[in-house]
Amino acid sequence: MSRPVRAVAALAVLTAVATLAWQPSGARYTAGTAAAAQTWSRAASTCASPGTQTLDAVADSYIDQALPTTTKGTASQIQVASSSAANRRGLIRFTLPAPGTGCILTAAHLNLTVGTPTAGRTVQVLTVASAWTEAAVTWNTQPATTGSPVSIVATLPNGGVESWNVLAQTQAQYAGGGYGWLIRDATENDTGGQAYYAREYPMVARRPALVLTFA
């Protein structure tokens, strides 16, 4: 066989052995060789309603260790305090929206506006593990929490917005529960505390918010 003929034959073999095929879905390429096949996928977004949603709290309160049977569901501030035998913890809940078709939660932030600050305190939010109501919850009846806390160090003055990255906690609430968050000082029985504006506060812009992003 002449060299030109051999070259043409070799080219034909290579063309048959290595192929690149476009799939009709527009989201997949397949390349094959005689030894193995490799597949690359283009991750195309299929979320029907991507974007950010800002949610208002549907319940909030605080509980006071010094007043263990007293409810604070109508208070205009959520108090989080560290004090010997007089700790205070906040509770807050949102109704989580159903994700759009094909959407996943990619970001979640719990935003609270500072009323009375104590700079330098570490404030934690934890996932609540059972149901509660703002009209009935007290220190003695507070719900249990689950999982690890998300912490920030308080630095902002009155009117500043403290924000916790609660993506993993919110994803867990979608998986089961949706009971909201407990807010506490990381070092209780100490000295210091915060007050955050509650959903009952007259100025709407200072009320709690949960900001979710879907993609």
Of the candidates 181, 165, 184, 60, which has an alpha carbon nearest to the alpha carbon of residue 121? Answer: 184
Residue 156, CA distances (Å) to 98, 118, 196 in order = 33, 9, 11
The Cα–Cα gap between 182 and 130 comes to 11
Give the mean model confidence (pLDDT) for residues 149-162.
98
> For residue 150, what pLDDT is reported?
98
- In the chain, where do the E strands start and end? 19-22, 28-32, 37-41, 51-56, 59-64, 77-83, 88-93, 105-116, 122-128, 145-153, 161-165, 181-185, 191-197, 209-214
**Contacts for 115 with CB less than 8 Å, ≥ 6 apart:** 77, 158, 194, 195, 196, 197
> For residue 45, what pLDDT is reported?
63
Give residue-wise pLDDT tens across range 176-203.
899 999 999 999 999 999 999 999 999 9
Reply yes or no on whether the pLDDT at 2 is more than 70.
no
Reply yes or no on whether the pLDDT at 14 is more than 70.
no
Give residue-wise pLDDT tens across range 67-97.
999 999 999 999 999 999 999 999 999 999 9
Inter-residue contact 90 to 183 (CB < 8 Å): yes
Residue-averaged pLDDT of the chain: 85
The Cα–Cα gap between 168 and 137 comes to 25
pLDDT confidence bin for 23, thresholds 50/70/90:
very low
Tally the residues of the chain: 215
Reply yes or no on whether the pLDDT at 5 is more than 80.
no
The Cα–Cα gap between 171 and 165 comes to 12
Inter-residue contact 181 to 92 (CB < 8 Å): yes
Domains (ranges, CATH) in the chain?
3-41 (no CATH), 51-214 (2.60.120)
User: Which pTM was predicted?
Assistant: 0.79
The Cα–Cα gap between 18 and 12 comes to 10
Give residue-wise pLDDT tens across range 30-54.
333 333 333 323 344 699 999 999 9
> For residue 24, what pLDDT is reported?
32
The Cα–Cα gap between 35 and 80 comes to 64
Give the mean model confidence (pLDDT) for residues 21-35.
33
Beta bridge partners of 1: none
Reply yes or no on whether the pLDDT at 17 is more than 60.
no
